[in-house]
Amino acid sequence: MAAALTAAHAAGTARITGIAFVDSNVTGQGSRATLPAAAKIYLPGTKITGAVGCPTTRYRTDELIVAVIDYQGAPTAGSLQVVRQLPSGQQLANAPYYLDIHQGRVLQYLGPIFDNANYTLRLTWGLGQAQNSQAAATFTFARNCPRLR
């Protein structure tokens, strides 16, 4: 039992705090990027409607979606997978993003996501240790994004 507690402690604790919409100058900094002070974090379970998070530039370099992860513990390896449930009922799982998770707040760019759907983010950390730890969060996108020209 002591070995199990040590393994769990070694992996640290993490949670998906939410998602945020940022510009490409933030996503270009990778997982060590800092969330801008003006960025709003949408908590797990949020339904995002209207034009929230809709790109406004021709090349869609703004309103990019990042997962906001808070982690306490020694640096570790992790992965984050995006699974979407489309209104048709079809479920699509993206290949996981592999990331280095460090103490504090970590941002992970989720790639271009434009479809209205229910999304589940699955975080796994402590990769390569005796036991992996996991967390999940869900979000719903029901947006009306204007067509860009």
DSSP letters spanning 9-51: HHH-EEEEEEEEEE-HHHHTTGGGPPPPTTPPPBPTTPEEEET
DSSP 3-state of 6: helix
7 part of a folded domain: yes
How does DSSP classify residue 2?
H
Mean pLDDT per 10-residue interval, the chain, length 149 residues: 43 93 91 90 97 89 94 95 89 94 94 91 89 94 88
149 part of a folded domain: no
CB 53 within 8 A of CB 60: no
User: Containing H/E element for 7?
Assistant: helix 2-11
Our count of domains for the chain comes to 1
**β-bridge partners, 99:** 78
Q: Cα–Cα distance between 42 and 121 in angstroms, integer?
A: 13
**β-bridge partners, 80:** 97, 123
148 part of a folded domain: no
CATH of the domain at 114: 2.60.40
Looking at residue 9, its amino acid is H
133 part of a folded domain: yes
At 11 the pLDDT is 66
At 131 the pLDDT is 78
At 105 the pLDDT is 95
78 part of a folded domain: yes
Both tokens of 91, joined, read: 């479920």
Both tokens of 52, joined, read: 């929230």
At 88 the pLDDT is 85
**What's the pLDDT tens digit per position in 21-57?**
999 999 999 867 999 999 999 999 999 999 999 988 8
At 3 the pLDDT is 41
Give the domain extent around 79: 2-143
At 6 the pLDDT is 41
